[in-house]
């Protein structure tokens, strides 16, 4: 099936990651073939971090890994959906989901999720 997927000109495919218990969308990431193969083989989400130009285990730094429960492919073979069991939180800013802000009809931003951890405590350099 992996060979049937359509990766973009940079060799990447978008992947939506969704919590299997709450159905909340946790994040949108990109995978190359290596990240996808490791994800399927190990049952943990691996991503291609464009900012670091390498494959990384999601939660490699924080310990907040994502355990794969289901992998779905869209009808045109060019995006993926992973249903996962999220350990602690998915967001680098300390929220369960990366989609923790809402924009109202006036265009104002409001935080609608509770912060689970302080990123300063997790991502010390």
pLDDT tens-digit readout, 70-111:
999 999 999 999 999 998 999 999 999 999 999 999 999 999
Residue 55 lies inside a defined structural domain of this protein: yes
C-beta neighbour count of 84 within 10 angstroms: 25
Q: Is residue 105 part of a domain?
A: no
Given a cut of 70, whether residue 120 has pLDDT beyond it is yes
CATH code where residue 27 lies: 3.10.20.810
Residue 99 is assigned to a structural domain of this protein? no
Answer whether residue 33 is part of any domain.
yes
- pTM greater than 0.75 (yes/no): yes
**Mean pLDDT in the chain?**
95
């Amino acid at each position: 099936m992996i060979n049937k997927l359509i990766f973009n000109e940079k060799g990447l495919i978008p992947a939506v990651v969704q919590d299997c218990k709450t159905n909340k969308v946790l994040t949108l990431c990109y995978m190359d073939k290596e990240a996808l193969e490791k994800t399927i083989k190990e049952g943990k989400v691996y991503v291609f971090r464009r900012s670091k130009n390498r494959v990384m285990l999601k939660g490699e730094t924080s310990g907040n890994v994502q355990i794969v429960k289901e992998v779905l492919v869209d009808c045109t073979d060019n995006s993926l959906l992973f249903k996962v069991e999220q350990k602690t939180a998915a967001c680098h800013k300390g929220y369960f989901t990366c989609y923790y802000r809402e924009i109202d009809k006036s265009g104002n931003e409001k935080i609608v999720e509770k912060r689970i951890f302080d990123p300063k405590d997790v991502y010390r350099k």
